Amino acid sequence: MTLDANRLRVLVEIAHAGSITAAAERMAFTPAALSQQMTKLEREVGCALIERVRGGVRLTHAGRVAVEHGERVLGELRDAEAALQAAAGAWTTRLGLGAFASAGKILVPQALASFRTAHPHVRLALQDLEPPEGYGLVTSGDLDLLLTHCYPGTSLPAAPALHRERLLVDPLMLVLPDTHAAAVHSVDTPLGLRDLADEEWICGGPGVSNRTALDRVAHQADVEVTVAYETRDYEVTLALVRAGIGVSLIPASVLRAAPQQGWMSRPLSGPALHREIYAVHRRRARGPVLEMVSMLRQAATRTLA
C-alpha cells in the first residue's frame, strides 16, 4: 500500500475543519472533489476513515490514526519547504499563532507588538483556540506556535513531535465581591471552601478547565459547591462578582489586568492552586518562532512582576 500525500492532506484538512464543505472552502476545491479524493484514499487503505454525521464528519478509529500520522507528514513537508527557502536566502513571510482567550488578552498583544517592530516583513496571524485544541495544527504546520494551558485536574495531551515550554505558573485566586464579609480579613489570609459553603459559584460548565479545577479541590476538601452561573469568560465572571452575584476562582494574571474595583481576592487554603501556560511549537522551529517564544516569555515574566 502506497499512500498519496495529497489525499492524506485532504483527510487532515477535513479533520481540522470538521466537515468536507468547510475543508473544501479552505482548500479552494468543491466538496465533490474532496469527497472523491476521500473515496480514493479509503480505497487505498482498505477501510473507512470518516463517517458522515449531521453537520459534518466524524473520524473512525482508522481515521484518527491516519490523521495523527498525516499531521506529522505534512509538518515534515512544511519543514522541508522552510529549510529550502532559508537555504535559498528567502525570508520567512508569515507566522501563525494560536492562543486561548485570556492569553490573547494578557500575553499576546505585548509580544505581537514587539515582534512586529523587530520583523516588519513578517505577516502575523492569530487564531482563537481553547485548550486542548491546536496541537494537531502545530504538528501539521498549519500553525507555527500555540499558547495553551493546564489546570489542576486536567492533563496535557501527548505531543511527541512537538516542543512544549512552560511560560507561566499562574496562581488561581479566590475572588469575592468587595462587600463580602471576608473583607475584614487580611488580603493574605487564606479562606477555605468550608468558609464558603453557602456561596453560589461562577465558573465554566462541566468539562471546562476551571470547572474541573474547582470540582477537584472541592472533592479533596469534601465540600459540595453550588455552581449557579456558568461562563468560561473571565470578564463576564468578574462582572458578576462585582455585582455581588457570586464567587469564583480566577487566575492572578487576569486579575492584574482587570480594573481594581468591586472585587477582592484571597488565597484559597490548602495546596497551592495554579494554571500553567505553555508555548508549543515544532521541534525544528524556525528562528522567528523562537524569537516569538522569547517575547512571550518576557511578557509572561512582566505579567506577575
Q: Are residues 30 and 107 in the same domain?
A: no
Least confident of 12-16, 182-186, 195-199: 182-186
Question: Is 30 within the bounds of a domain?
Answer: yes
Contact 145, 97 (CB under 8 A): yes
- Which domain covers residue 31, as residue numbers? 5-73
Number of domains in the chain: 3
- What is the CATH number for 195? 3.40.190.290
Question: Is 285 within the bounds of a domain?
Answer: yes
Question: Is 83 within the bounds of a domain?
Answer: no
Residue 190 is predicted with a pLDDT of: 83
Question: Is 79 within the bounds of a domain?
Answer: no
Beta carbons within 10 angstroms of residue 153's beta carbon: 17
Residues 6+ positions from 193 with CB-CB distance below 8 Å = 217, 218, 221, 223, 225, 268
Question: Is 156 within the bounds of a domain?
Answer: yes
Separation between Cα atoms, residue 271 and residue 273, nearest integer Å: 6
Question: Is 200 within the bounds of a domain?
Answer: yes
pTM of the model: 0.86
Q: Does pLDDT of 187 surpass 80?
A: no
H-type alpha helices, the chain: 5-17, 20-27, 31-45, 61-87, 101-106, 108-118, 135-139, 209-221, 234-242, 252-256, 287-303
Question: Is 59 within the bounds of a domain?
Answer: yes
Residue 279 is predicted with a pLDDT of: 98
Q: Are residues 178 and 265 in the same domain?
A: yes
- What is the CATH number for 26? 1.10.10.10
